[in-house]
Amino acid sequence: MGGAVSAGEDNDELIDNLKEAQYIRTELVEQAFRAIDRADYYLEEFKDNAYKDLAWKHGNIHLSAPCIYSEVMEALDLQPGLSFLNLGSGTGYLSSMVGLILGPFGVNHGVELHSDVIEYAKQKLDFFIKTSDSFDKFEFCEPSFVIGNCLEISPDCTQYDRVYCGAGVQKEHEEYMKNLLKVGGILVMPLEEKLTKITRTGPSAWETKKILAVSFAPLIQPNHADSGKSRLVHLPPVAVRSLQDLARIAIRGTIKKIIHQETMSKTGNGLKNPPRFKRRRVRRRRMETIVFLDKEVFASRISSPSDDNNNSEEIEEEKHEEEETKPSELKPDPPVNFLREKVLSLPLPDPLKYYLLYYREK
């Protein structure tokens, strides 16, 4: 499902549209969405659809619509240092965005039913860490994925600050999901066709809020027909960072502060980031709603009354703007990775420099 916002031509335009439609409302969520290109999580032959506000499924690989993910991210109210559990972690797209907010001292775990999807998620995670232009702007809480049915998590597992379930939850499993939460924690899940936010306010006290109507495939029930025994899912241990990791985090943090201070002294202002290149105008497009039902797809289009009347005028106006726009204005300068440049300039042995840069290719 999806289609709440217009299609974008690239990841930034998709995020602009989600902001304009009030699906993305906070700076932390916006930064995470801009940092990870949704198209990187698509198979190559399907990337043309990456910036449409639609769900995508191919075999066991699945991505929810961008408007759904943005509502989930906002509802989770993520903060650095929290623990997060993603039930049905899929491609790892959502877990990676969450990891950018949790930072180096958070916990980021995922449970996925299909082994091929876990392998796909690990490949995409590795690609993001090694090649993303935006990786060095954050300290990342790398997600860990385990295989298994999320309805068979070991009862002795730790509880989490934030939990998300990416499949439809039946009423009979509501208490099971709630018990995964710490007091003060937030659970977001599709419950009885509604994306629902549940906050644990006490040992036996809860606050429930319905966010929006959704249609998710239901959770797959455990099948014990073969062995007759439950296959408990054991989540990764909450490990303490090594001294080596802590040193890297501290050094990178210090270098970022130095770069920020140098930037402020040169520019005379406190901008956190240089202004992002933005397109001149947002062209309104017709909204599409796609509903998946088993293997059939039903589509409907909804257009506002003013769309057809103004469409020809908008096209002419856009043509006029394009004629007036100079080629130099169309292409922004490529982003500069100041952290990488600073690390490479340090009087350190090359192996240590590469370690500080996570052995990244860019």
Locate the DSSP E strands across 91-193.
Answer: 107-112, 144-147, 160-165, 181-191
Express as a percent the part of the chain with pLDDT over 70: 78
Give 35-67 pLDDT, tens digit per residue. 999 999 999 999 999 999 999 999 999 999 999
- Tell me the residue type at 71: E
User: Do 89 and 74 have their domain in common?
Assistant: yes
Burial 175-202 (b: 16+ CB within 10 A, else e): eebbebbeeebbbbbbbeeebbbbbbee
pLDDT band at 300 (very low <50, low <70, confident <90, very high): very low
179, 151 contact by CB (below 8 A): no
Give the pLDDT score at 288: 45
Q: What is residue 291's three-state secondary structure?
A: strand
User: Do 74 and 216 have their domain in common?
Assistant: yes
Range of the domain at 352: 241-261+344-361
Count of alpha carbons within 13 angstroms of residue 26, beta-carbon side: 14
The distance of Cα 168 from the centroid of its chain, to the nearest Å, equals 19
In a domain, 147, yes or no: yes
User: Do 187 and 248 have their domain in common?
Assistant: no
Give 105-140 pLDDT, tens digit per residue. 999 999 999 999 999 999 999 999 999 988 999 999
The count of structural domains within the chain is 2
Give 311-339 pLDDT, tens digit per residue. 555 555 555 555 555 555 555 666 788 99
CATH of the domain at 179: 3.40.50.150
Residue 302 has pLDDT above 80, yes or no: no
**pTM of this prediction?**
0.81
User: Do 184 and 247 have their domain in common?
Assistant: no
Give 65-86 pLDDT, tens digit per residue. 999 999 999 999 999 999 999 9
User: Do 186 and 136 have their domain in common?
Assistant: yes
Per the annotation, the verdict on 154 as an active-site residue is no
In a domain, 249, yes or no: yes
User: Do 85 and 212 have their domain in common?
Assistant: yes
Q: Which of 64, 70, 89, 96 is catalytic?
A: 64
